[in-house]
């Protein structure tokens, strides 16, 4: 018995034809509208969104609230990543450390990772590679470099911003990186964007003065957080030679 193939109904075929071509086009339009109305304006809000949790991390006198500190760091990563490959390298390294600390602050022993003091009292050997204190010191270094770079981008006029960020890198992060990484960083700083380009990336849609003011506030907040953390680490005897974890044996 042979089956007789029916010719397609023109109405059904027209509907399927539209779905085959019109639906992807419609999805593309929605994605484009989402980008134009949402993503385009998201970065210019990041400076303020980042400042808030960092400030909230300082609400406890002479201590540091870790969940807010980590939230501020996550937003700092989002702020730095669009600035170029060199910043992306630093933020990827920071993101891995943030994930570990976040797992501690949300895990079964989270009560011991709510503040810096609680973490310092809880951990027995801060020299262990998985120690929250050790990870915090590494983030502390990166925070200092980010603060120095952002301050230069916001405030220094008619100067090679790449050279300033490079000097900050060699002083703060370079001594802790392998030779090959340091050489790659030096090359990247030679191709650093101009100040006006960096300001436009950080605060799209804002004029140069508005972007400088927003970035200056960010740099000031990071400096305040850095100073608080520096004092806490120093009091616990965890720093030596600026920002280096003091080994207590074995690590």
pLDDT at 248: 33
pLDDT tens digit string along 100-136? 999 999 999 999 999 999 999 999 888 888 899 999 9
**DSSP β-bridge partners for residue 65:** 115
> What whole-number distance in Å separates Cα of residue 196 and Cα of residue 208?
7
CATH T-level topology, domain 45-235:
Glycolipid transfer protein, GLTP (1.10.3520)
Tokens linked to 79: 């702020």
CA angle 27, 44, 142 (to 5 degrees): 110
How far CA 108 is from CA of 18, 59, 111, 112, 165, in Å, comes to 53, 25, 8, 9, 40
Question: Would you list the domain boundaries of the chain?
Answer: 45-235
Confidence (pLDDT) at 9: 52
Tokens 């969940």 belong to residue: 67
The pLDDT value given to residue 203 = 85
Averaged over successive runs of 10 residues, the pLDDT of the chain (251 residues) comes to 47 45 36 32 64 94 95 93 78 90 93 96 88 94 93 87 88 88 83 86 87 93 96 89 38 32
């Amino acid at each position: 018995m042979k089956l007789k193939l029916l010719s397609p109904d023109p109405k059904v075929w027209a509907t399927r034809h539209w779905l085959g071509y019109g639906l992807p086009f419609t999805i593309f339009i929605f994605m484009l509208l989402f980008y134009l109305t949402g993503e385009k304006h998201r970065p210019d809000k990041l400076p303020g969104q980042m400042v808030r949790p960092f400030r909230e991390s300082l609400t406890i006198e002479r201590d540091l609230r870790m969940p807010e500190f980590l939230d501020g760091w996550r937003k700092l990563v989002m702020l730095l990543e669009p600035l170029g490959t060199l910043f992306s390298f630093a933020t990827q390294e920071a993101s891995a450390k943030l994930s570990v600390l976040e797992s501690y602050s949300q895990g079964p022993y989270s009560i011991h990772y709510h503040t810096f003091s609680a973490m310092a009292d809880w951990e027995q050997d801060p020299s262990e590679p998985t120690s929250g204190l050790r990870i915090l010191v590494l983030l502390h270094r990166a925070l200092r470099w980010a603060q120095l770079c952002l301050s230069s981008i916001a405030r220094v006029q008619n100067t090679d911003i790449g050279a300033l960020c490079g000097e900050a890198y060699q002083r703060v992060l370079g001594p802790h990186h392998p030779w090959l990484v340091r050489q790659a960083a030096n090359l990247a700083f030679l191709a650093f964007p101009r100040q006006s380009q960096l300001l436009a990336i950080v605060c799209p849609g804002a004029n140069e003065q508005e972007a400088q003011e927003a970035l200056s506030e960010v740099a000031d907040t990071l400096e305040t957080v850095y100073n608080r953390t520096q004092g806490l680490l120093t009091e616990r005897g965890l720093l030596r030679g600026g920002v280096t974890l003091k080994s207590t044996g074995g690590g």
